[in-house]
Protein backbone atom coordinates (compact mmCIF):
# COMPACT_ATOMS: atom_id res chain seq x y z
CA UNK A 1 0.00 0.00 0.00
CA UNK A 2 2.79 2.37 0.92
CA UNK A 3 4.46 1.65 -2.41
CA UNK A 4 1.24 2.47 -4.28
CA UNK A 5 0.88 5.71 -2.36
CA UNK A 6 4.45 6.68 -3.22
CA UNK A 7 3.85 5.92 -6.89
CA UNK A 8 0.64 7.95 -6.85
CA UNK A 9 2.37 10.89 -5.18
CA UNK A 10 5.22 10.69 -7.66
CA UNK A 11 2.76 10.73 -10.54
CA UNK A 12 0.89 13.69 -9.06
CA UNK A 13 4.10 15.63 -8.46
CA UNK A 14 5.37 14.76 -11.94
CA UNK A 15 2.11 15.90 -13.53
CA UNK A 16 2.20 19.12 -11.54
CA UNK A 17 5.79 19.81 -12.59
CA UNK A 18 4.96 19.05 -16.23
CA UNK A 19 1.90 21.30 -16.06
CA UNK A 20 3.98 24.11 -14.58
CA UNK A 21 6.66 23.68 -17.24
CA UNK A 22 4.05 23.77 -20.01
CA UNK A 23 2.56 26.97 -18.59
CA UNK A 24 6.03 28.50 -18.41
CA UNK A 25 6.65 27.49 -22.01
CA UNK A 26 3.28 28.92 -23.00
CA UNK A 27 4.09 32.19 -21.26
CA UNK A 28 7.42 32.34 -23.11
CA UNK A 29 5.79 31.69 -26.49
CA UNK A 30 3.06 34.24 -25.80
CA UNK A 31 5.67 36.81 -24.84
CA UNK A 32 7.33 36.31 -28.21
CA UNK A 33 4.06 36.50 -30.13
CA UNK A 34 2.79 39.60 -28.33
CA UNK A 35 5.90 41.71 -28.03
CA UNK A 36 5.97 45.49 -28.29
CA UNK A 37 4.95 47.16 -31.52
CA UNK A 38 7.59 49.81 -32.12
CA UNK A 39 7.86 52.85 -34.36
CA UNK A 40 11.10 53.54 -36.27
CA UNK A 41 13.74 55.13 -34.07
CA UNK A 42 13.46 58.40 -35.98
CA UNK A 43 10.16 59.15 -37.66
CA UNK A 44 11.38 62.57 -38.77
CA UNK A 45 14.43 61.50 -40.79
CA UNK A 46 14.53 62.24 -44.51
CA UNK A 47 14.18 58.57 -45.36
CA UNK A 48 11.20 57.73 -43.12
CA UNK A 49 9.29 60.96 -42.43
CA UNK A 50 7.08 60.64 -45.52
CA UNK A 51 5.26 57.65 -44.02
CA UNK A 52 4.72 59.03 -40.52
CA UNK A 53 3.08 62.01 -38.85
CA UNK A 54 5.97 64.50 -39.32
CA UNK A 55 5.18 64.60 -43.04
CA UNK A 56 1.61 65.67 -42.29
CA UNK A 57 2.14 67.88 -39.22
CA UNK A 58 2.14 71.25 -41.00
CA UNK A 59 -1.26 70.68 -42.62
CA UNK A 60 -2.85 68.47 -39.96
CA UNK A 61 -2.00 69.62 -36.43
CA UNK A 62 -3.00 67.25 -33.64
CA UNK A 63 -3.50 67.44 -29.90
CA UNK A 64 -1.91 64.88 -27.59
CA UNK A 65 -3.82 63.40 -24.66
CA UNK A 66 -3.32 60.61 -22.12
CA UNK A 67 -5.84 58.24 -20.60
CA UNK A 68 -5.70 55.23 -18.27
CA UNK A 69 -6.20 51.67 -19.46
CA UNK A 70 -5.64 49.16 -16.70
CA UNK A 71 -2.33 50.07 -15.05
CA UNK A 72 -1.03 51.97 -18.08
CA UNK A 73 -1.42 55.56 -19.27
CA UNK A 74 -1.92 55.37 -23.02
CA UNK A 75 -1.09 58.11 -25.52
CA UNK A 76 -3.83 59.42 -27.78
CA UNK A 77 -4.20 62.17 -30.38
CA UNK A 78 -7.02 64.33 -31.65
CA UNK A 79 -6.80 65.17 -35.35
CA UNK A 80 -9.12 67.78 -36.86
CA UNK A 81 -10.18 69.29 -33.53
CA UNK A 82 -11.76 72.16 -35.48
CA UNK A 83 -14.52 69.75 -36.52
CA UNK A 84 -17.15 69.36 -33.83
CA UNK A 85 -20.02 67.58 -35.60
CA UNK A 86 -18.83 63.97 -35.68
CA UNK A 87 -16.06 61.85 -34.17
CA UNK A 88 -14.26 58.85 -35.65
CA UNK A 89 -12.39 56.67 -33.12
CA UNK A 90 -9.66 54.49 -34.62
CA UNK A 91 -8.12 51.26 -33.29
CA UNK A 92 -4.86 50.14 -34.92
CA UNK A 93 -3.44 46.73 -35.75
CA UNK A 94 -0.94 44.74 -33.72
CA UNK A 95 2.79 45.24 -34.14
CA UNK A 96 2.63 48.98 -34.78
CA UNK A 97 0.95 52.13 -33.50
CA UNK A 98 -1.80 54.38 -34.79
CA UNK A 99 0.60 56.53 -36.83
CA UNK A 100 0.91 53.76 -39.40
CA UNK A 101 -2.53 54.90 -40.58
CA UNK A 102 -1.95 58.65 -40.43
CA UNK A 103 -2.73 59.26 -44.12
CA UNK A 104 -6.15 57.68 -43.59
CA UNK A 105 -6.77 59.95 -40.58
CA UNK A 106 -5.94 63.00 -42.67
CA UNK A 107 -8.33 61.87 -45.39
CA UNK A 108 -11.16 61.63 -42.86
CA UNK A 109 -10.27 65.05 -41.45
CA UNK A 110 -10.67 66.41 -44.98
CA UNK A 111 -14.18 64.94 -44.99
CA UNK A 112 -15.07 66.95 -41.89
CA UNK A 113 -14.35 64.36 -39.19
CA UNK A 114 -12.66 64.85 -35.87
CA UNK A 115 -10.46 61.75 -35.46
CA UNK A 116 -9.38 60.25 -32.14
CA UNK A 117 -6.52 57.76 -32.46
CA UNK A 118 -4.33 56.20 -29.79
CA UNK A 119 -1.47 53.76 -29.30
CA UNK A 120 -2.67 50.65 -27.47
CA UNK A 121 -0.83 48.82 -24.70
CA UNK A 122 2.75 47.97 -25.62
CA UNK A 123 2.47 49.83 -28.92
CA UNK A 124 4.08 52.90 -30.42
CA UNK A 125 4.39 55.78 -27.98
CA UNK A 126 2.34 54.09 -25.25
CA UNK A 127 4.02 52.17 -22.40
CA UNK A 128 3.91 48.44 -21.77
CA UNK A 129 6.38 45.61 -22.19
CA UNK A 130 4.05 43.77 -24.57
CA UNK A 131 0.79 44.05 -26.46
CA UNK A 132 -0.54 41.47 -23.96
CA UNK A 133 -2.85 39.40 -26.18
CA UNK A 134 -5.66 39.27 -28.70
CA UNK A 135 -8.37 40.51 -26.32
CA UNK A 136 -6.35 43.54 -25.19
CA UNK A 137 -7.29 45.74 -28.15
CA UNK A 138 -10.97 45.73 -27.13
CA UNK A 139 -10.11 46.57 -23.52
CA UNK A 140 -7.95 49.51 -24.60
CA UNK A 141 -10.68 50.75 -26.93
CA UNK A 142 -13.14 50.50 -24.05
CA UNK A 143 -10.79 52.71 -22.00
CA UNK A 144 -10.46 55.18 -24.87
CA UNK A 145 -14.24 55.47 -25.19
CA UNK A 146 -14.57 55.98 -21.44
CA UNK A 147 -12.06 58.85 -21.70
CA UNK A 148 -13.97 60.36 -24.64
CA UNK A 149 -17.25 60.19 -22.72
CA UNK A 150 -15.68 62.17 -19.89
CA UNK A 151 -14.16 64.84 -22.14
CA UNK A 152 -16.37 67.93 -22.43
CA UNK A 153 -15.51 68.54 -26.08
CA UNK A 154 -15.45 65.00 -27.43
CA UNK A 155 -18.55 63.72 -25.67
CA UNK A 156 -20.76 66.18 -27.55
CA UNK A 157 -20.19 64.46 -30.89
CA UNK A 158 -21.81 61.29 -32.26
CA UNK A 159 -19.18 58.55 -32.36
CA UNK A 160 -18.31 55.93 -34.96
CA UNK A 161 -15.56 53.30 -34.80
CA UNK A 162 -12.99 52.12 -37.33
CA UNK A 163 -10.38 49.42 -36.72
CA UNK A 164 -7.93 47.23 -38.59
CA UNK A 165 -6.87 43.67 -37.69
CA UNK A 166 -6.28 43.69 -33.89
CA UNK A 167 -8.29 46.91 -33.94
CA UNK A 168 -10.79 45.34 -36.35
CA UNK A 169 -11.62 42.86 -33.60
CA UNK A 170 -11.67 45.69 -31.05
CA UNK A 171 -14.49 47.64 -32.74
CA UNK A 172 -16.69 44.53 -32.53
CA UNK A 173 -15.51 43.29 -29.15
CA UNK A 174 -15.97 46.69 -27.47
CA UNK A 175 -19.67 46.63 -28.36
CA UNK A 176 -20.08 44.17 -25.48
CA UNK A 177 -19.61 47.22 -23.24
CA UNK A 178 -22.12 50.03 -22.84
CA UNK A 179 -21.11 52.92 -25.08
CA UNK A 180 -23.19 55.13 -27.33
CA UNK A 181 -21.76 54.18 -30.72
CA UNK A 182 -23.64 55.08 -33.90
CA UNK A 183 -21.80 52.75 -36.30
CA UNK A 184 -18.63 50.68 -36.58
CA UNK A 185 -16.49 49.36 -39.42
CA UNK A 186 -13.97 46.53 -39.14
CA UNK A 187 -11.15 45.97 -41.63
CA UNK A 188 -9.65 42.46 -41.50
CA UNK A 189 -10.87 41.93 -37.95
CA UNK A 190 -11.01 38.46 -36.39
CA UNK A 191 -14.21 37.39 -34.66
CA UNK A 192 -13.04 35.11 -31.85
CA UNK A 193 -9.65 35.68 -30.17
CA UNK A 194 -9.40 32.05 -29.06
CA UNK A 195 -9.90 30.78 -32.60
CA UNK A 196 -7.28 33.24 -33.84
CA UNK A 197 -4.97 32.10 -31.04
CA UNK A 198 -5.40 28.46 -32.09
CA UNK A 199 -4.56 29.29 -35.71
CA UNK A 200 -1.49 31.21 -34.58
CA UNK A 201 -0.33 28.12 -32.70
CA UNK A 202 -0.73 26.04 -35.87
CA UNK A 203 1.35 28.58 -37.80
CA UNK A 204 4.16 28.43 -35.22
CA UNK A 205 4.05 24.84 -33.97
CA UNK A 206 2.25 22.88 -36.67
CA UNK A 207 -0.99 20.98 -36.13
CA UNK A 208 0.49 18.43 -33.73
CA UNK A 209 2.24 20.98 -31.55
CA UNK A 210 -0.82 23.22 -31.61
CA UNK A 211 -3.04 20.43 -30.28
CA UNK A 212 -0.67 19.96 -27.32
CA UNK A 213 -0.35 23.73 -26.83
CA UNK A 214 -4.06 24.56 -27.10
CA UNK A 215 -5.27 23.84 -23.52
CA UNK A 216 -2.33 25.73 -22.05
CA UNK A 217 -2.81 28.75 -24.32
CA UNK A 218 -6.47 28.90 -23.30
CA UNK A 219 -5.51 28.67 -19.62
CA UNK A 220 -2.95 31.43 -20.15
CA UNK A 221 -5.57 33.57 -21.89
CA UNK A 222 -7.92 33.04 -18.92
CA UNK A 223 -5.20 33.96 -16.42
CA UNK A 224 -4.34 37.15 -18.33
CA UNK A 225 -7.84 38.37 -19.20
CA UNK A 226 -10.00 36.86 -16.46
CA UNK A 227 -13.69 37.53 -17.03
CA UNK A 228 -12.94 38.95 -20.47
CA UNK A 229 -11.12 35.82 -21.70
CA UNK A 230 -14.02 34.79 -23.98
CA UNK A 231 -14.83 38.30 -25.20
CA UNK A 232 -15.68 38.15 -28.90
CA UNK A 233 -16.88 40.39 -31.71
CA UNK A 234 -19.99 38.42 -32.68
CA UNK A 235 -21.64 38.82 -29.28
CA UNK A 236 -20.84 42.54 -29.32
CA UNK A 237 -22.24 43.11 -32.80
CA UNK A 238 -25.46 41.30 -31.89
CA UNK A 239 -25.78 43.06 -28.53
CA UNK A 240 -25.28 46.59 -29.89
CA UNK A 241 -27.62 46.15 -32.86
CA UNK A 242 -26.10 49.15 -34.66
CA UNK A 243 -24.89 49.50 -38.26
CA UNK A 244 -21.74 47.38 -38.53
CA UNK A 245 -19.60 46.96 -41.64
CA UNK A 246 -17.19 43.99 -41.85
CA UNK A 247 -14.65 44.20 -44.69
CA UNK A 248 -11.98 41.58 -45.35
CA UNK A 249 -9.47 40.76 -48.07
CA UNK A 250 -10.07 37.39 -49.69
CA UNK A 251 -6.29 36.74 -49.90
CA UNK A 252 -5.53 37.62 -46.26
CA UNK A 253 -2.93 35.23 -44.85
CA UNK A 254 -2.52 36.98 -41.48
CA UNK A 255 -6.14 37.01 -40.33
CA UNK A 256 -7.56 34.27 -42.49
CA UNK A 257 -10.85 35.09 -44.20
CA UNK A 258 -12.36 32.05 -42.43
CA UNK A 259 -11.46 33.59 -39.04
CA UNK A 260 -12.73 37.07 -39.89
CA UNK A 261 -15.90 38.69 -38.65
CA UNK A 262 -17.01 38.55 -42.27
CA UNK A 263 -17.15 34.74 -42.08
CA UNK A 264 -19.57 34.73 -39.15
CA UNK A 265 -22.69 35.81 -40.99
CA UNK A 266 -24.63 32.75 -39.82
CA UNK A 267 -23.94 33.74 -36.19
CA UNK A 268 -24.57 37.47 -36.58
CA UNK A 269 -28.22 38.27 -35.98
CA UNK A 270 -27.81 42.06 -36.11
CA UNK A 271 -30.03 43.14 -39.06
CA UNK A 272 -27.90 46.26 -39.58
CA UNK A 273 -24.69 44.31 -40.24
CA UNK A 274 -23.16 44.55 -43.70
CA UNK A 275 -20.36 42.50 -45.25
CA UNK A 276 -17.98 43.34 -48.06
CA UNK A 277 -15.23 41.14 -49.52
CA UNK A 278 -12.17 42.94 -50.87
CA UNK A 279 -11.10 40.97 -53.93
CA UNK A 280 -8.46 41.12 -56.63
CA UNK A 281 -4.67 41.04 -56.72
CA UNK A 282 -4.33 43.38 -53.76
CA UNK A 283 -6.63 41.84 -51.19
CA UNK A 284 -4.19 40.76 -48.52
CA UNK A 285 -3.97 42.09 -44.97
CA UNK A 286 -2.50 45.56 -45.59
CA UNK A 287 -2.05 46.26 -49.28
CA UNK A 288 -5.64 47.39 -49.90
CA UNK A 289 -4.90 50.56 -47.91
CA UNK A 290 -2.82 51.66 -50.90
CA UNK A 291 -3.81 52.42 -54.46
CA UNK A 292 -3.53 49.75 -57.13
CA UNK A 293 -0.91 51.96 -58.79
CA UNK A 294 1.24 51.84 -55.67
CA UNK A 295 0.86 48.08 -55.28
CA UNK A 296 1.61 47.40 -58.95
CA UNK A 297 4.75 49.55 -58.74
CA UNK A 298 6.04 47.58 -55.77
CA UNK A 299 5.17 44.24 -57.35
CA UNK A 300 7.03 45.14 -60.55
CA UNK A 301 10.10 46.80 -59.07
CA UNK A 302 10.62 44.97 -55.80
CA UNK A 303 9.32 41.39 -55.84
CA UNK A 304 8.74 40.10 -52.33
CA UNK A 305 6.05 40.07 -49.67
CA UNK A 306 4.03 42.93 -51.12
CA UNK A 307 1.20 42.28 -48.67
CA UNK A 308 3.29 43.53 -45.74
CA UNK A 309 2.94 47.15 -44.67
CA UNK A 310 6.49 47.03 -43.27
CA UNK A 311 7.75 45.75 -46.62
CA UNK A 312 6.02 48.54 -48.52
CA UNK A 313 7.43 51.16 -46.17
CA UNK A 314 10.94 49.74 -46.49
CA UNK A 315 10.69 49.86 -50.28
CA UNK A 316 9.87 53.55 -50.35
CA UNK A 317 12.38 54.39 -47.61
CA UNK A 318 15.40 53.43 -49.69
CA UNK A 319 17.73 56.17 -50.84
CA UNK A 320 16.74 55.82 -54.51
CA UNK A 321 13.06 56.59 -53.94
CA UNK A 322 11.98 59.91 -55.39
CA UNK A 323 9.45 62.34 -53.94
CA UNK A 324 6.98 61.03 -56.51
CA UNK A 325 7.53 57.49 -55.24
CA UNK A 326 6.91 58.57 -51.68
CA UNK A 327 3.76 60.43 -52.69
CA UNK A 328 2.64 57.18 -54.29
CA UNK A 329 3.06 55.40 -50.95
CA UNK A 330 1.11 58.09 -49.09
CA UNK A 331 -1.86 58.04 -51.46
CA UNK A 332 -4.92 56.37 -49.92
CA UNK A 333 -7.29 53.87 -51.49
CA UNK A 334 -9.94 56.53 -51.88
CA UNK A 335 -12.79 54.31 -53.19
CA UNK A 336 -12.45 52.12 -50.09
CA UNK A 337 -12.47 55.07 -47.71
CA UNK A 338 -15.38 56.67 -49.59
CA UNK A 339 -17.36 53.46 -49.11
CA UNK A 340 -16.67 53.50 -45.38
CA UNK A 341 -17.47 57.21 -45.13
CA UNK A 342 -20.77 56.73 -46.96
CA UNK A 343 -21.64 53.93 -44.55
CA UNK A 344 -21.04 56.26 -41.60
CA UNK A 345 -22.95 59.16 -43.10
CA UNK A 346 -25.94 56.92 -43.74
CA UNK A 347 -25.86 55.73 -40.13
CA UNK A 348 -25.62 59.29 -38.78
CA UNK A 349 -28.47 60.53 -40.96
In a domain, 35, yes or no: no
Looking up residue 268, the CATH number of its domain turns out to be 3.40.50.1820
In a domain, 276, yes or no: yes
In a domain, 142, yes or no: yes
In a domain, 328, yes or no: yes
In a domain, 158, yes or no: yes
Residues 230-272 have pLDDT tens digits of: 999 999 999 999 999 999 999 999 999 999 999 999 999 999 9
In a domain, 288, yes or no: yes
In a domain, 215, yes or no: no
Residues 295-310 have pLDDT tens digits of: 888 887 766 665 666 6
CA distance 21 to 215: 13
Residues 181-204 have pLDDT tens digits of: 999 999 999 999 999 988 876 666
Range of the domain at 109: 43-192+232-348
Domain count, the chain: 1
CA distance 49 to 254: 27
CA distance 255 to 260: 7
In a domain, 296, yes or no: yes
CA distance 43 to 30: 28
Amino acid sequence: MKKQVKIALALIIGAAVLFSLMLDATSFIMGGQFGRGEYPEDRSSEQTAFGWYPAFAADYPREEVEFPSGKLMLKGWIYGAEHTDKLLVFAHGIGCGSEAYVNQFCWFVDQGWCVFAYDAAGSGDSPGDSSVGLVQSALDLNSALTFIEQDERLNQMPKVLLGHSWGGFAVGGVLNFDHDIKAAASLSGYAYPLEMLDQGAVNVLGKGGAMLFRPFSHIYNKIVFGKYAKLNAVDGINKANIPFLAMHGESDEFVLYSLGIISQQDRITNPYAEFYTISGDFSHHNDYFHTDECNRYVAAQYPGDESSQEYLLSVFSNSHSSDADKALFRAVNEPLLEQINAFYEKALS
